[in-house]
Amino acid sequence: MTTHRPLSAWIAPVDWSVEGTARLASPVEVNYGDERADARALADFDVGWRRQAVAMETGLSALGLVQEVSGRAVVELDNRARPVRASEAAVQVISRVEDSWPEAGLPAADLAVLAGEDTVVRYLLVDRLAAEGDPPPELFHVLPWARVDALAGQVLDLLNGGAAAPAVIELGPWFTPAGSRFSAALEQLDEGLRRQEPALARVAATALCSRLLAVQPARLPAPTRRALARLAEGLGQADPLLAFTVRRVIARMTQGDDASLVTPLRLGGTLAAAADDAAGVRTQSLDAARAPFTVRLVVTATGRAEVVVSALLDDLPPAATRPYGVVLVPVRVAGAAGGLRYLIPLGQAGGVLSGRLDVAVPAGPFVEADLDGPPIGAAELAVQSEDEVRRSIRGLRTRSGRALWTRLAELLPPAHPLRDVIDEEQGD
């Protein structure tokens, strides 16, 4: 028989009364006295424990474990060292899942039982199963998504000029098992709008859109997907530079994927043999609309791949770029063996916001290029890798393009290591 292990990082032993109820010692003995340990990894639970709903003398039914041979019992604790509430029906569902996981199915009746339980026990089970396998997307629907729906609605109201709701909705860790940490970005966006800090709100909006592109849409219930699609639409109206990313987010939230929007530009890796003409080096090119941006891929007879990203300033509000400091557009250039991500800084000249990358054509029969996420600014640059920054600067062939990296270095915090990286590359 499968031995059952804790779902929570904390447990505490209990004593049985003559009436058959359990009580905790005072003070609570978390993890047998070592609260820094993780109960899920304790060797004590390697053999002989079974899942049980433990009736506490306070009247609470708690998620617990009993060792069959010794009769010892523990209850699982939340992050405030309180017993995790769980009904007998929920404990039976959890026990069945543990006995047969990862092959276990979760019928609708079991999901309905879990959906009615305390938030903590729902989170613990979903977090455990997501960490150990690939549970069906319906399991994630038992998380308290009504909180996300409500916060998305409040943030959209703020974007539309409404007053801040009196109570702040905190999402906490409950949605992390669904992946991509989008709930943290949604909380940050709410904070930035409430505090009327455009820079904070801009970074949070970008992060939210980026993380919603990474989450599996089926893990979110339909009402939540609709609420997030409406919010994304509002973000695109507030920041036109996010427009293409927002269209992708809306497609994922409403249709389940955005495949129709993300076919990269592809050209052959070499040009047919012929002499260059008097006008210069022969090229072939391909454009794609990623409004407000246009992406152009150019392959030259000299074996270079150029990626040009541009947007007409007349199509953007006058202050559209201000919250970014310098707009950086992530692009991915790939060949048959894989690809690399680059950051292209965009400068303003002649009524156009644009930037250019120039790299060697990857080995193989073709080269692909496209945007690789929403535009970012100096704030996000601070967490990019040194390797990515180095190769991005080396992909520039103009003084104006490199000058933008000098400006970005000035916007980084003092003593930030990327300042030295940018200075070194500028000296090449």
Q: Is 202 found in the same domain as 70?
A: no
Q: Is 277 found in the same domain as 248?
A: no
Q: Which one-letter amino acid corresponds to residue 286?
A: L
User: Residue 4 domain-assigned?
Assistant: no
Q: How far apart are CA 343 and CA 339, in angstroms?
A: 14
Q: Indicate if the pLDDT at residue 4 is higher than 70.
A: yes
Domain that holds residue 344: 265-426
Q: Is 410 found in the same domain as 294?
A: yes
Q: Is 158 found in the same domain as 95?
A: no
Task: Please report which confidence band the pLDDT of residue 271 belongs to, taking 50, 70 and 90 as the band edges.
Answer: confident
Q: Which of 211, 231, 261 is the last residue of a domain?
A: 261
Q: Is 317 found in the same domain as 255?
A: no
Q: For 149-175, how does the pLDDT look when each residue is reduced to its tens digit (9 = 90+)?
A: 999 999 999 999 999 999 999 999 999
The pLDDT score that the predictor gives to residue 75 is 97
Q: Which residue has the higher pLDDT, 274 or 142?
A: 142
Q: Indicate if the pLDDT at residue 341 is higher than 80.
A: yes
Picking from 348, 317, 349, the residue whose alpha carbon sits closest to that of residue 242 is 317
CB 247 within 8 A of CB 239: no
The pLDDT score that the predictor gives to residue 250 is 98
The proportion of the chain whose per-residue pLDDT surpasses 90, expressed as a percent, equals 87
Q: Indicate if the pLDDT at residue 273 is higher than 90.
A: no
> Which residues have a Cβ under 8 Å from the Cβ of 111 and sit 6 or more positions away?
138, 139, 141, 142
The pLDDT score that the predictor gives to residue 114 is 96
Determine how many CB atoms are found less than 10 A away from the CB of residue 216.
14
User: Residue 113 domain-assigned?
Assistant: yes
User: Residue 392 domain-assigned?
Assistant: yes
Q: Is 281 found in the same domain as 416?
A: yes
Two structure tokens written together for 285: 């090119």
The pLDDT score that the predictor gives to residue 3 is 86
Q: Which one-letter amino acid corresponds to residue 121?
A: V
Picking from 330, 325, 260, the residue whose alpha carbon sits closest to that of residue 295 is 330
Residue 219 to residues 15, 51, 141, 142: CA-CA distances in angstroms?
A: 40, 27, 7, 10
User: Residue 330 domain-assigned?
Assistant: yes
Picking from 368, 227, 361, 350, the residue whose alpha carbon sits closest to that of residue 302 is 361
Q: Which one-letter amino acid corresponds to residue 339?
A: G
Q: Which one-letter amino acid corresponds to residue 206?
A: T
User: Residue 193 domain-assigned?
Assistant: yes
The pLDDT score that the predictor gives to residue 133 is 86
Q: Is 408 found in the same domain as 276?
A: yes
Q: Is 236 found in the same domain as 300?
A: no
The pLDDT score that the predictor gives to residue 274 is 57
Q: How far is CA 412 from the centre of its chain?
A: 24
Phi-psi category of residue 285: left, alpha or beta, with phi > 0 → left and psi -120 to 50 → alpha: beta
The lowest-confidence range among 95-104, 344-353, 359-368 is 95-104
Q: How far apart are CA 91 and CA 74, in angstroms?
A: 14
Q: Which of 243, 261, 279 is the last residue of a domain?
A: 261
Say how many domains are in the chain. Answer: 3
Q: Is 315 found in the same domain as 240?
A: no
User: Residue 125 domain-assigned?
Assistant: yes
Residue 361 to residues 266, 366, 369: CA-CA distances in angstroms?
A: 12, 8, 11
The pLDDT score that the predictor gives to residue 272 is 67
Work out the angle at residue 280's Cα, subtended by the Cα atoms of residues 275 and 283, and round it to the nearest 5 degrees: 75
Q: Is 412 found in the same domain as 360?
A: yes
The pLDDT score that the predictor gives to residue 101 is 81
CB 48 within 8 A of CB 5: no
Q: For 199-250, how does the pLDDT look when each residue is reduced to its tens digit (9 = 90+)?
A: 999 999 999 999 999 999 999 999 999 999 999 999 999 999 999 999 999 9
Q: Is 293 found in the same domain as 250?
A: no
The pLDDT score that the predictor gives to residue 399 is 84
Q: Is 296 found in the same domain as 356?
A: yes
Q: Indicate if the pLDDT at residue 277 is higher than 90.
A: no
CB 329 within 8 A of CB 293: yes
The pLDDT score that the predictor gives to residue 400 is 83
Q: Which of 226, 261, 296 is the last residue of a domain?
A: 261
Two structure tokens written together for 242: 């996010």
Residue 73 to residues 6, 44, 183: CA-CA distances in angstroms?
A: 12, 12, 36
Q: Indicate if the pLDDT at residue 275 is higher than 80.
A: no
The pLDDT score that the predictor gives to residue 1 is 55
